[in-house]
Amino acid sequence: MATTNNIIQYKEFSSLANVSFWHELSSKKLDVLKLKEDPLPVNAYYSYSTSQQLDPFLCLEYNSFLLTKSQSSNNNTTDRYFEPPTRSFLSNGILYNYNTAEDFKQSPKAKLFEDASKQIWNDIKSGNIEKDPTLLNRFIVLTFADIKNHQFYYLFGIPALLPTQPFETIAPTVTLEETYNEQQIQTLHSSLQSSTLPFFLIKNNADSSISVGSIDQWDSYFNDIEVPTVGFCDPCALSSNPGWPLRNFLLYLSTARPNVKKVRVVCYRANIKVSGEQTISSIVLTVALNSNTEWSGKSVGWEKDTNGKIAPRFISLASTMDPMKLASQSVDLNLKLMRWRVMPSLDLETIKETKCLLLGSGTLGCNVARCLLSWGVRNVTFVDSSKVSYSNPVRQSLFNFEDCTPKAKEKSVAAAESLKRIFPAVNATSHVFSIPMPGHSVSASQEEAVKSVFENLEDLVKKNDVIFLLTDSRESRWLPTLLARYHNKQIINAALGFDSYLIVRHGIREPNANESDTGAANLKGQDLGCYFCNDVIAPTDTLKDRTLDQMCTVTRPGLSMMASAIAVELMISILHHPIKGRAQAETETDIYAGASTPLGIVPHQLRGFLSHYQTMPLFGHPFKHCTACSDQILEEFKNRGWDFILQVLNDSTCLTKIAGIDNLNQEDVNIDWEIDLSDDDDDEKDNE
């Protein structure tokens, strides 16, 4: 008589619901189920284990909601059916999805589990198992899908029906090699290699060969044999325990074959050579069957959580389902492709971290923002005081008709919103104010308001790394030029004429930490002229500017895209220079001498002429009497702050005095505050 030590202990299944399964459940819930709580048929599979450290898995995947061909009622040949992968075996299940956490908690778990158990028992009693042995492998899964947060709770039950008396082994467990010779094992492997039979019979033939058959061949296989040999595809890899499918199979055998007292069970573990070159060895049990054995009415097989308690498991798939996270990751990897393909030294991290302030949200502002976005810049702040008008959307690439009506949106606000719609991970903010301008006098009643605008602007300049000057008037560029110069921030200035444009990177006073006069040529820093230096230093250029300025209200539509793109690319080049904005101004000749950055040269100014399709890199020294960037002006600002600014706003003529221009030949001086530089455009001025 066997002792209780011989009671077979089975390795339970552990559920493995793949990401693709939860994706499928989400879309099922959204598109098909909606609020219905109907039970859904699902199909899972199990395979041979490749490691003793691995639990036997019951796998659910993208196709688990498909029916098998035999489950399907119609014979439409174009239908997709569930098929387990090769060397895997079917397990039929039912999914109960609940719409609320409360319903999930209150679900009749024990009853659903018992229903599944009864179904298995009915199939055993009715003989259905002979036709379809996979019916022994039923399971249920209860889910609560919190679609909004991409979170799922689930509880698996894989019922094993308990017999009235537990099954025991009556001989030591041996290996397959101890039971069969090499030839026979080869036959076993080749018979089962592409088999879909989870349970099978093995017959020893008279010529010492073996045959493998399905369980409905019992009578022809085991006529008059005292100890028949059966087998099952065992997902367990342990050396002394069989896997879960054997439990219901033994109950089936003892019920369907009441005359059999003993059975030999091959726990077949395939012949998969894993990468470590070891194979998991199959084992052979000898089991006593008792003809009085029946189902006790009890069954076990609830899956435990990670703490070993029977409780729902939880999975959050935000990282693969949250569109925000997906978009960010995709954008990053896509940019890295450029680094891999073309330029290993591309510094995407610095670009991503660079904070950009866009002064002006018209054509230039919109196009600059879009180009920054394509480069992976994540921090963009828009400043503009005007509203989106009907003529804007066709040229200003961040706006559309809805931004004009029923109520016109502020441009900066609409631009930031639009940028976020394009790419939600971008940090886009907006400010609505007009930049204080020299000569635009401030009345006593406005003073506080203008002062706070000034403070806000100074704060923005301090907080950002690169300031794009994209406003539509020359005067509005003065204060940002001064502030950026004072706080050592990079300005990139873009201005448009009818068919020409000018991009200038303003010089930076403070030397860069990497600068050195003795080191490599590209480590020697240089200060450069600003937009206003140009005017006075080169009167002939000012004439060119005039053609640019006077045509301000109309520009060729493609021009803004070109100028914006060049402005952004210039910033990218600066960021790749070892001493950034202090990089020496390079021109065409430097291209041949060997450029200072992996992206090429870092010019000071770019002047483009659409009439002859040309862009020229130019260079200008800082003008020591510049009304915006000279030391005298900065010194005055340092000493008097807002008082100085207010004075200039009320009377711009003080600038030439402070800068020292009044001492120069008056003919060389040409400051015309009234000349407009366009940001495009057909904007009504009264919007400002």
In whole angstroms, the minimum distance from the beta carbon of 347 to another protein comes to 8
Residues 6+ apart with CB under 8 A from 436: 442, 450, 453, 454, 457, 479, 645, 649
Q: Which is nearer to Zn ion, 346 or 484 (CB)?
A: 484
Residue 637 as a binder of Zn ion (CB under 5 A): the answer is no
Q: What residues from 195 to 234 belong to the interface with another protein (CB under 8 A)?
A: none
Nearer to another protein, 273 or 463 (CB): 273
- Name the H helices within 466-555: 478-486, 531-537, 539-550
Contact mark string toward another protein, 284..313, x via CB under 8 A? --------------xxx-x---xxxxxxxx
Nearest distance from residue 247's CB to another protein, in Å?
A: 9
Q: Of residues 531-560, which lie at the interface with Zn ion (CB under 5 A)?
A: 532-533
Report the 10 Å Cβ neighbour count for 482.
Answer: 28
- CB closer to another protein out of 169 and 605: 169
Rank residues 94 and 626 by Cβ distance to Zn ion and give the closer one: 626
Q: How far is CA 416 from CA 194, 378, 421, 532, in A?
A: 59, 12, 9, 30
* Identified binder of Zn ion from the candidate list 377, 483, 626, 633, rule CB under 5 A: 626
Rounded distance, CA 459 to CA 381, Å?
12
Q: How is residue 112 written in tokens? A: 């659903």
Query: What does 532 bind: Zn ion, another protein, none (CB cut-off 5 to 8 Å by kind)?
Result: Zn ion
Mark 567-606 with x for binding to Zn ion (rule: CB under 5 A) and - for no binding. ----------------------------------------
Residues catalogued as catalytic: 552
How many residues touch Zn ion under the rule CB under 5 A: the total is: 6
Q: Are 360 and 471 in contact, with CB atoms under 8 Å apart?
A: yes
Partner residues linked to 156 by β-bridges: 141
Task: Choose the stretch contacting another protein; rule: CB under 8 A; options: 11-19, 525-533, 586-594, 635-643.
Answer: 11-19
Q: Judged by CB, which is closer to another protein: 325, or 409?
A: 325
- Indicate the residue among 104 and 623 with the shorter CB distance to Zn ion: 623
Tell me which of another protein, Zn ion, none is bound by residue 104, counting a contact when its beta carbon lies within the kind-specific cut-off of 5 to 8 angstroms. another protein
Taking CB under 8 A as the criterion, which residues in 257-276 touch another protein?
Answer: 272-276
Q: Measured from the CB of residue 424, what is the shortest distance to another protein in angstroms? A: 16
Region 520-539 residues binding another protein, contact defined as CB under 8 A: none
Residues 226 and 231: their CA atoms lie apart, in Å, by 16
530 binds, among Zn ion, another protein, none (CB under 5 to 8 A by kind): Zn ion
Q: How far is CA 249 from the centre of its chain?
A: 46
Nearer CB in complex with Zn ion: 154/623: 623
Q: What minimum distance in Å lies between the beta carbon of 371 and another protein?
A: 21
Q: Does 530 bind Zn ion (CB under 5 A)?
A: yes
Interacting residue with another protein among 190, 278, 441, 446 (CB under 8 A):
278
Please tell me whether residue 3 binds another protein under the rule CB under 8 A. no
Figure out which of the listed residues 25, 40, 43, 50 binds another protein, where binding follows CB under 8 A.
50
- Bridge partners of 300? 160
Residue 23 binds to another protein (criterion: CB under 8 A): yes
Which residue among 629, 633, 661, 675 contacts Zn ion (CB under 5 A)? 629
Element (H, E) at 232: strand 229-233
Using CB under 8 A as the binding rule, whether residue 53 contacts another protein is answered as yes
Token pair, residue 444, equals 């006593």
DSSP-derived letter for residue 622 is P
Tell me the C-alpha distance between 615 and 500, whole Å: 9
With beta carbons less than 8 A apart as the criterion, state whether 237 and 272 touch.
no
315 is a site residue for another protein (CB under 8 A):
yes
Return the number of the residue (238 or 552) whose C-beta is nearest another protein.
Answer: 238
10 Å Cβ neighbour count for 315?
12
β-bridge partners, 133? none
Which helix (DSSP H) or strand (DSSP E) does residue 338 occupy?
helix 323-341
3 state SS of 664: coil
As measured in angstroms, the least distance from the Cβ of 90 to another protein is 15
Dist CA 94 CA 139 (whole Å) = 7
The residue among 29 and 313 lying less far from another protein, judged by its C-beta, is 313
Q: C-beta of 589: minimal distance to Zn ion in Å? A: 25
Among residues 38, 207, 344, 589, the one that binds another protein under rule CB under 8 A? 344
HEC string of 373-399 equals HHCCCCEEEEECCCECCCCCCCCCCCC
Count how many Cα atoms sit within 13 Å of the Cα of residue 176 in the half-sphere of its side chain. 25
Residues between 575 and 594 that touch another protein (CB under 8 A): none
Helices marked H in 127-280 — which ranges?
128-131, 176-179, 182-192, 218-221, 245-256
Minimum distance of another protein from residue 91's CB (angstroms): 18
For CA atoms 586, 592, 593, 598, the dihedral sign is: positive
Among 30, 258, 314, 390, contact with another protein (rule: CB under 8 A): 314
Token pair recorded at residue 297: 């009415």
Answer whether the bond into residue 406 is a cis peptide, omega within 30°. yes
* Stretch 145-164 residues interacting with another protein (CB under 8 A): 146, 149, 151, 153, 155, 162
* Inter-residue contact 92 to 43 (CB < 8 Å): yes
Residues of this chain, 98-127, that bind another protein according to CB under 8 A: 101, 104-105, 107-110, 113
Do 435 and 478 meet the contact criterion of CB atoms below 8 Å apart?
no
CB of residue 29 vs another protein: minimum separation in angstroms?
16
> Which region, judged by CB under 8 A, interacts with another protein, from 51-59, 207-215, 216-224, 661-669?
51-59
Angle at the Cα of 636 from the Cα atoms of 635 and 642, rounded to 5 degrees = 125
The site for Zn ion (CB under 5 A) is made up of 530, 532-533, 626, 628-629
